[in-house]
A and B are shown apart, each in its own frame.
Chain A
Amino acid sequence: MADLAHSPVGAPKPAATDEMVEFGVAATSQWRRVLRRFLRHKLAVCSLVVLVILVLASFLGGSLIAYRYDELTKDFSSAPSLRHWFGTDTIGHDTFAQVLRGARRSLIVALLVAVLSTSVGALIGVLAGYYRGIVDLALMRLTDLFLTIPSFVVLLVVSARYRGESGNWLALSLVIAGFFWMQLARVVRGIFLSLREREFVEAARALGATDRRIILRHLLPNSLGPIIVNATLLVGAAIVTETALSFLGFGIAPPDTSLGRLVAEGAVASRTRWWLFYMPGLYLVLISLCINFVGDGLRDAIDPQQNRVRA
């Protein structure tokens, strides 16, 4: 405070970095506007808060709650109570601890899928949209081809190979990501096709900027909004896909577990020990619902003009 009070008016400001000269002012105000619009979206903000709590619980919760996931407590098949929030199974496992562990694995897979497929999709979209011509034609035909493949079914087939292999979550993420990049590739290509004709790109090129610089410094930051929205919604889609595969027995293999496996195990006993089935499912739906609300709020905040709906 003292520093602030005594700082002389008109003292030289700290030297601006290279990046700030080029983007600084416009970029911050744009993202600040996005933030303000997002904060006005009450449902999205609430969902974000709930989502953060759920994610933090999944990653840190294991060490905060009273029971470990592999601990055999003395309570067998007890319904949800203050001692065991989500109840226990027949041999005394605390279901809440199990759910947190499953959620962590499901989230890791979903985040990995989102990162991988966003990178691949963005790369393909960038190449197709920037270089056009034969590159565009080849990449877009490939994208169309992937879109005609019934992806969930093919995912089942491919992940069947890793069925039952413990520690298969990495392979599973790679496989799912392989079928999740197409939509983003199309979106990014569309943006690049229109942006590359704009004056600021022409100006940059006239100043001697390389393709690499134009793509990374001028075009990519301008298409960041849709990419972020798409990546958010991809996390939601990926978590549902992973759990569905695990539910059918083709996803995460024991001794590892995921929310899908927990639901599948609980479904057998849904009439006598309902909590084993409903609790993991509720946790899963809450995560996916929050992600979708946040993604929708982000979309509205980043591009308020468009009236596009979720396809």
Chain B
Amino acid sequence: MLAFTLRRLAVSIPVVIASSFIVFVLVATAGGDPLADLRLRPGISEGTIELRRKQLHLDEPVLQRYGNWATAAITGDLGKANGGEEVRPLLVRRLGVTLRLVVFATIIAVILAVFIGSMGAVKQYSKFDYTATFFAFVFFSMPVFWLAAILRDVGIRINTRIDRHIFFVVGEQTPGLGGGFLNVQADRLGHLILPSVTLILISMASWSRFQRGSMLEVLNADYIRTARAKGVSARRVLFRHALRNALIPVVTIVAIDFATILGGAVITETVFGWTGMGRLLVDGLKASDVNVIQAWLLVAAVLVISFNLAADLLYGYLDPRTRTT
């Protein structure tokens, strides 16, 4: 297992480098003019613009820019935003907010998806199965932004109807809230509900279908019949023999889907007005803030590749037959 882990880790490093390079070139060539904002402002001299261009190394060839940027990024220096703020602390703060949403939603979505998918497989073609399948299709087809906006709308309507503020629809926490640690956490949890429900419903849709398929495959396997024939109790067959093996593919799918969840989080955060990674990216893009965009994409790429790596390792751990490569 150790050799397998090291080999996989070694393969990931060039992938990170190549991926970050592609992304860097894409942003540098197609990401818009980072000086546009400066040019439009009145009273900015040609000299200031030229200075800014030098600061951002825009006068150098792309390859050299990537080299400079990557070397700095390895030492943890991600440069400064257009406003002069250091990018790294900004990014870390925003990442905390977004990860809170992503981690919370993913955990709940996985639990629900495994339960619903397995139930659908055990009771194949039952009313439950058909209903679950239909709703999986509906949420699978639903764009994240629409579902998020609907939930926000419904939340506001309920608040107005009962004249009490039970659903928070703006921001990730109430600004300037005192009252100690517990109070703050409770407030954060309240703000977390609607955005999480959005992400949970969307990701659960495909994962539950996947779990259902995987469970069906396992339930039809010979060793399940053997276990039943030996007289193992139905419960034990289901949980010990079937579910454990059916979970393997789903675990990997969840890790691989991380990029999709991240994209969904960007949209959800925008709808609910969170100041997380999503806001950082959208604002950065509107201002053509290259350093922010590059740093954002680097973090996203590293996260996605780490999750892919985690999926690989987990798969290797759960199913030793796949460790050969």
Tell me the A residues contacting B by CB distance below 8 Å.
144-145, 148-154, 156-158, 160-161, 163, 236, 240, 243-244, 247-250, 260, 263-264, 267, 270-271, 274, 277-278, 281, 284-285, 288-289, 291-293, 296, 307-311
Contacts and interface: CB of A to CB of B under 8 A. Distances in A.
Interface string B273-310: 00000000110011010000100110011001100100
B266 A236 contact: no
A284 B146 CA distance: 9
Contacts of A293: 137
Interface in B1-45: 15, 18-19, 22-23, 26-27, 30-32
Nearest to A292: B141
A260 B301 contact: no
Nearest to B146: A281
Determine the main DSSP class of A at the interface with B. Answer: helix
Contacts of B214: 309
B259 interface: yes
A64 to B, nearest CB: 26
Contacts of B308: 148
B259 A151 contact: yes
Contacts of B285: 156-157, 160, 163, 250
B147 to A, nearest CB: 9
A157 B209 contact: no
A289 B138 contact: yes
B191 interface: no
B210 interface: yes
Nearest to B271: A267
24 contacts: A144-B15, A145-B15, A148-B15, A148-B19, A148-B304, A149-B301, A150-B259, A150-B300, A150-B304, A152-B263, A153-B281, A156-B281, A156-B282, A158-B26, A160-B31, A160-B288, A236-B141, A263-B146, A271-B156, A278-B150, A281-B150, A284-B146, A310-B206, A310-B210
Contact of A158 (B31, B143, B206, B296): B31
B32 A160 contact: yes
Given A249-B286, A263-B146, A277-B149, 13 more contacts: A148-B19, A152-B259, A152-B262, A154-B26, A156-B282, A244-B143, A244-B145, A244-B267, A263-B149, A284-B146, A285-B138, A288-B143, A289-B138
A307 B216 contact: yes
B260 interface: yes
A260 B145 contact: yes
A247 B30 contact: no
Interface of B: 15, 18-19, 22-23, 26-27, 30-32, 137-138, 140-146, 149-150, 153, 156-157, 206, 209-210, 212-214, 216-217, 253, 259-260, 262-263, 266-267, 270-271, 281-282, 285-286, 288, 293, 296-297, 300-301, 304-305, 308
A285 B143 contact: yes
B141 A289 contact: yes
A292 B23 contact: no
Contact of A307 (B141, B213, B286): B213
B209 A310 contact: yes
Contacts of B30: 157-158, 161
Given A148-B304, A311-B206, A271 B143 contact: no
Given A151-B259, A293-B137, A157 B31 contact: yes
Contact of A157 (B138, B149, B293): B293
B213 A292 contact: no
A236 B266 CA distance: 20
A310 B153 contact: no
A154 B298 CA distance: 11
Contacts of A153: 259, 262-263, 266, 281, 296-297, 300
Contacts of B212: 309
A156 B149 contact: no
A277 B152 CA distance: 12
A277 B153 contact: yes
B26 to A, nearest CB: 6
B19 A271 contact: no
B37 to A, nearest CB: 13
A250 to B, nearest CB: 7
Contacts of B137: 289, 292-293, 296
A291 B26 CA distance: 31
B26 A267 contact: no
Contacts of B297: 150, 153-154, 157
B200 to A, nearest CB: 18
